[in-house]
Amino acid sequence: MITLVDTGLCNIGSVANMLRKLGVRPNIATDGRGVEEARALILPGIGHFDAGMKNLEERGLAKALHERVVGAKVPVLGICLGMQLLARHSEEGSAPGLGWIAADVKKFRFEPPVSLPVPHMGWNEVEPVDVEMFKGHEPGRTRFYFVHSFHVVPDDTAVVAAWATYGTRFVAAVRQGHIWGAQFHPEKSHRHGLNVLKNYVEAVRDAA
């Protein structure tokens, strides 16, 4: 039902284990052929933007993902670097992103007197916006685990599914129809992360 995209820059096992807790046995795709029949996708990622895009291109995943997500409207959830790859471009490198969300990726910059370490690492409360993605979360008690130096800046805040604050307000999640993105790591966020994955699984089932 759900295909995990292995870019070679992620811990597929942790995401797969969380899905199994929900009764989902995911397929693993390491190349374009693996996503050709996918009915729903999860694109996790850790590391450098250009390296992520390079791996997607070299494995034949970028073209196949575009055909499924843009052409066939197959649902996708990008996680951490996977969410950033949904954008057009990143200050982290020079490679073009997938471009499914009208957004760019920028490095954390703080206005004095604010001075915080980068990367942003650890637990952070988020402000949910998208009702379906964050269904079942308690207001003021929704916390997720983050590890990132860059954050997505969309052209239009209508795609923002959740906000968070780390020295400055930034986008913690995006949603544009069947395209979901989480800057945090749901697979490291215990019950809160499990609930976001559960909401995605349910949305995929309802759309099938």
Structure tokens, 164: 């968070």
Q: What is the side-by-side order of every strand in the sheet holding 168-176?
A: 27-29, 3-5, 41-45, 76-80, 179-182, 168-176, 160-166, 120-128, 143-148
Separation of alpha carbons 57 and 68, rounded Å: 15
Active site residues: 80, 185, 187
SS3 107: strand
Pairing of strands 41-45, 76-80: parallel
Per the DSSP assignment, residues forming a β-bridge with 144 are: 124
* Cβ(93)–Cβ(107) below 8 Å: no
Nearest to 103 by CA among 116, 119, 78, 85: 85
Task: Give the count of beta carbons closer than 10 Å to the beta carbon of residue 116.
Answer: 10
